[in-house]
Structure 1
Amino acid sequence: MNATTPIEPSSGSTDILARHDQGAHYVYDLSPEELVDEAIKNGEGRLADTGALVCNTGKFSGRTPKDRFIVRDEVTDQTVAWGDDNQPFDPIQFDTLHKRMVANLAGRTVYVRYARAGALNQYGLRLRIITTLAWHNLFSYIMFLRPEPGEATDGPVELTLLVDPSFSADPALDGTRHSNFTILNLSKGVILIGGTGYAGAIKKSVFSALNVWLPLKHNILPLHCAANKGSQGDTALFLGLSGTGKTTLSADPTRPLIGDDEHGWISENQVRTDQVGLGQVDQSLFNFEGGCYAQVLNLNREQEPQIFSAIKSGAILENTPFLPNSTTVDFSDSSLTANTRCAYPLNHIVNAVTPSVGSAPKHIFFLSADAFGVLPPISRLTPQQALDYFLLGYTAKITGTEQGVTSPMATFSPCFGAVFMPLPARTYAAMFKQRIERCGSQVWLINTGWKGGSIGIGKRMSLAHTRAMIDAALTGALDSIPFDQHTEFGLAIPTQCPGVPTELLNPINTWEYKGMYQLSARRLASAFAQKLTEL
């Protein structure tokens, strides 16, 4: 296979269990109940009074992007956009590390799970996840698609993950940066994760593999987004980095949930419709996952009832301390990390869509947690602005989402997920442009960050107001409203919105010192322009 050949998943070449068996005790496809029992027996976690399993991830409570690598070989050399987000790894060192990891399984109980990433079978990626912790295997059961009753699980595996938090790499020997690592070998269909107990690394590494395979093999645009649909089947997408509100804003009791984090948007000539009753179901969009992975710091039933109710038997809570002398979780406790998480199956959401597919989106929301407090809370984008902001992916990293981030910081993450998107950003952007033009999708920019000043001075946007603005866009309540143009950003801002105080819509009105606002807005607009020239 030469460098110009599209990368395809391996088929049967990743059977590390057969090739390097070192006497481990392999346990296959345990039920959630059995895995919870194993986790408790092994001392991996405790049950909360809701029935959810509570586990700690150890030293690492978030991703460490600088410890993520992709094997550079004749297949990936001219395909991957190499750089800080996609660091190259030597194939020989990968093989050596791989063998050492498997040898480290000797004499241990190892949990093996077969699953699929992708709700549409014809585009799904068949997975085998090998974990040394029972709760990581339960996490994999939750996050990926489970085999249907009667579905064969002994077919060819296209991607194998080996996850062992107890295995520490030797940087001098193995070529890693630290003892922890995530390494993708896209040619062999193998992912190695070691030295970290953070379960999010499992789902994001599979997402990264799909983000290469689907565009090149199937012309499918992968998106880091949540999705839901209205009563008329109209689909809405929510793009944003972790902490910007994808899961929260897509969990709407009035709009069935398709998924909360990762989806594929197929091209026009691939759209498949299935006869359902008297109508047709458009399957332009499909979820990659079978579960949700929500941030739960300060979670409460009143503001996020669907997520709160999803935390029950079969769910996993990460790094959430208990109230003293109880098994009741204290969601306000960030003593372990601000990145407290819950993983739960999609069917824990009462109105989740099954199967998790939808039509081409009518509305797309870009979510940016603006650390400077200068972006409008809602603005309507032209197609060119939509392309520009998709490429920019501007937001603020939220405390705890990545290791070492202790306070919010402004960042640009092209495609709202650069650390998961191995191909050049403009490859994904061209696919995005083609789809929104063809489908006539309306794109909106939503600031879920600050108003009235930057972090430390201003206040966080009200969730209730953000929901009201999104609802107004979805229901057409803004269609007949006049729009003003923002002086610095050229964004179209509605002059009024049901359920939202008018003075909040233009951000300058929320600042005490208007001159300081103009200076901050001008500075950020200049940074936007500079970044676009670099992409």
Structure 2
Amino acid sequence: MSINLDCLNINGCKNIYRNLSVSELVEVAVKRGEGVLSDKGALVVNTGKYTGRSPKDRFIVKQSSIEDKINWGEVNQPIDEDIFNKMYDKVVNYLKGKDIFVFDGFVGADKEYTLPIRTVCECAYEAMFANQLFRRPTVSELVDFEAKFNIIAAPGFKANGKEDGLNSEAFILVNFDKKIILIGGTQYSGEIKKSVFSVMNFLLPEKGVMPMHCSANIGNDGRTAIFFGLSGTGKTTLSTDPERRLIGDDEHGWSDKGVFNFEGGCYAKAIKLDKDKEKEIYNAIKFGTILENVVLHSNGKPDYDSNKYTENTRAAYPIEYIDNIEKSGMGGNPDTIIFLTADAFGVMPPIAKLSKEAAMYHFMSGYTSKVAGTERGITEPKATFSSCFGEPFMLMNPAVYAELLGEKIDKYGTDVYLVNTGWLSGGYGKGDRIKLSYTRTMVKAALEGKLKDVQYMEHPIFKISMPVECPGVPSEILNPKNTWEDKGAYDTKALELAEKFQQNFKKFKNVPESIVEAGPATKEASCV
């Protein structure tokens, strides 16, 4: 379908290809040397220097229309509009004489909140990525298509860093007045996805919709559940449940009508992918899937255990590649919310119920831990906090999102649980990680309402409610202290982590006392 990009001042291109089929994009990408095919037909791409997001290279153009709404700082860095304009002119000039690949589509399954987007790509595989990750249009929807936001991705153009007013050769610049996201210097496709969802996370609260970095699914009983969690906590794994229909695995909105998926696909971690434990994801990797930075054996078979290029290997595929999905991309108002954390200190309960105030506290905290081997320089567990379980993508003050969460918990009577998918018995390097089968059983019990009326006991430091029993799970592990041989060492480590929570929470200003009090205590206490 023909198109011109004069409205974006993009002209003089060799050819402009709009909404090519996946087969066509794969063929072009292979011919251009952008990737190779695996034994199952997936397009395997190496993104070079950048194998993950580059957060220090993402900037938001500071404009009067948004200046008092953005939570400015190290995460949401401001940039002057004249710098954006100069970079835009450079990129447009760079694209002259090149083949361009365009994807027009949508973000948001609920038509009332859908954002039409146009992705203009230097590389065929990036257009394929957009096609597989965003919501695909019908032929009739393309006839009078009008984009409300435009993404221009030119990975081959490298900035001059400080000379251009930037930090490096890579840049992700968001301009709300011009409705443009400009990406250059990085081939990592996740920048396209996450910058678009950051825009949604800014636009939706003004419509009374809570944007969420979460996965969601729905049971045969029609009950919807959502899962929050940072990378490595099991968000994708636990929400991809053969007994429940997947609504989406990463980005959603929660309106008064219920939950709706932003996406049309999944962007799953592929490192150490196990065909038995994560068979839905494993089976989704076939023709039409993009594998990023996955090592191939000589026979074309992926080596999912290899971290030769990065721990952040990825598989991008349309949600239809998962067998059990909710095709509408929508669900009702959630009955259950699961906060996931991978606690490497071994002190958080495997599952605990949260009050509304505790839910708001832990939502604003967004705790998990990083362990040795996942990032350079980390040799022992490190507490990590990411507000709203997605701080890099939340442009407004975390309190805005937390208030929306509290309002919706009140309005719909949603139960909230904190689930630890990390370690017990002394923590990382000493104890064992909680069995995935136990975690699945606990989550299932929560979703089926089997933990509503059981007996609970309050953790004296974290002040969250631990069930005394859970069907199918050994009772002794439900209180993490029971798994430690040295009970005094448990107390010390629990108080150490509680102190990290409190120190982190000090950055939030003017938070209601009821929420602050719902957080952990750091004074000496007799642990249960």
Instruction: State TM-score, norm by structure 2.
Output: 0.92
Deviation at 1:499, TM superposition (A): 2.3
Deviation at 1:533, TM superposition (A): 3.4
Cα distance in 1, alignment partners of residues 196 and 417 from structure 2:
28
- Of 203, 220, 244, which residue of structure 2 is paired with 1:231? 220
Cα distance in 2, alignment partners of residues 288 and 406 from structure 1:
37
Contact kept, 8 Å, 2:13 with 2:99, in 1: the verdict is no
In structure 2, the residue matched to 1:245 is: 234
Secondary structure (helix, strand or coil) at the match of 2:335 reads: strand
Contact kept, 8 Å, 2:5 with 2:11, in 1: the verdict is no
In structure 2, the residue matched to 1:111 is: 101
Contact kept, 8 Å, 1:339 with 1:400, in 2: the verdict is no
In structure 2, the residue matched to 1:9 is: none
In structure 2, the residue matched to 1:288 is: 262
- Of 369, 380, 401, which residue of structure 2 is paired with 1:396? 369
In structure 2, the residue matched to 1:331 is: 304
Secondary structure (helix, strand or coil) at the match of 2:95 reads: coil
Deviation at 1:460, TM superposition (A): 2.3
**What amino acid does structure 2 have at the position aligned with 1:213?**
L
In structure 1, the residue matched to 2:415 is: 442
Contact kept, 8 Å, 1:61 with 1:400, in 2: the verdict is no
Pick closer, same or farther for the CA change 1:399–1:306 going to 2, 3 Å.
farther
- Of 271, 276, 285, which residue of structure 2 is paired with 1:302? 276
Deviation at 1:448, TM superposition (A): 1.5
- Of 246, 251, 254, which residue of structure 1 is paired with 2:243? 254
Deviation at 1:477, TM superposition (A): 2.4
Pick closer, same or farther for the CA change 1:227–1:189 going to 2, 3 Å.
same
Pick closer, same or farther for the CA change 1:155–1:400 going to 2, 3 Å.
farther
Deviation at 1:453, TM superposition (A): 2.6
- 1:344 is aligned to 2:317: yes
Contact kept, 8 Å, 2:383 with 2:500, in 1: the verdict is no
**What amino acid does structure 1 have at the position aligned with 2:200?**
L
Segments of structure 1 that go 5 or more residues without pairing to the other structure are: 1-13, 272-283
In structure 2, the residue matched to 1:280 is: none
Deviations 1:415-451 (A, max 9, x none): 1111100011101111111001100000000111222
Deviation at 1:313, TM superposition (A): 1.3
Deviation at 1:404, TM superposition (A): 8.2
- 1:219 is aligned to 2:208: yes
In structure 1, the residue matched to 2:357 is: 384
Secondary structure (helix, strand or coil) at the match of 2:328 reads: coil
CA RMSD of aligned residues (A): 1.9
Contact kept, 8 Å, 1:322 with 1:329, in 2: the verdict is yes
Deviation at 1:478, TM superposition (A): 2.2
In structure 1, the residue matched to 2:387 is: 414
Question: Which structure 2 residues correspond to residues 42-121 of structure 1 after superposition, within 5 A?
Answer: 42-121=32-111
Cα distance in 1, alignment partners of residues 419 and 326 from structure 2:
25
Aligned length: 505
In structure 2, the residue matched to 1:369 is: 342
Cα distance in 1, alignment partners of residues 15 and 254 from structure 2:
40
Cα distance in 2, alignment partners of residues 259 and 153 from structure 1:
28
Instruction: State TM-score, norm by structure 1.
Output: 0.91
- Of 328, 333, 357, which residue of structure 1 is paired with 2:330? 357
Question: Which structure 2 residues correspond to residues 174-185 of structure 1 after superposition, within 5 A?
Answer: 174-185=164-175
**What amino acid does structure 2 have at the position aligned with 1:301?**
K
Deviation at 1:531, TM superposition (A): 2.7
Pick closer, same or farther for the CA change 1:401–1:512 going to 2, 3 Å.
closer
In structure 2, the residue matched to 1:484 is: 457
Contact kept, 8 Å, 1:22 with 1:102, in 2: the verdict is no
Cα distance in 2, alignment partners of residues 424 and 130 from structure 1:
30
- Of 129, 141, 145, which residue of structure 1 is paired with 2:131? 141
Contact kept, 8 Å, 1:339 with 1:399, in 2: the verdict is no
Deviation at 1:468, TM superposition (A): 0.8
Deviations 1:22-62 (A, max 9, x none): 33421111100000001110111111111211111111111
- Of 196, 199, 207, which residue of structure 2 is paired with 1:209? 199
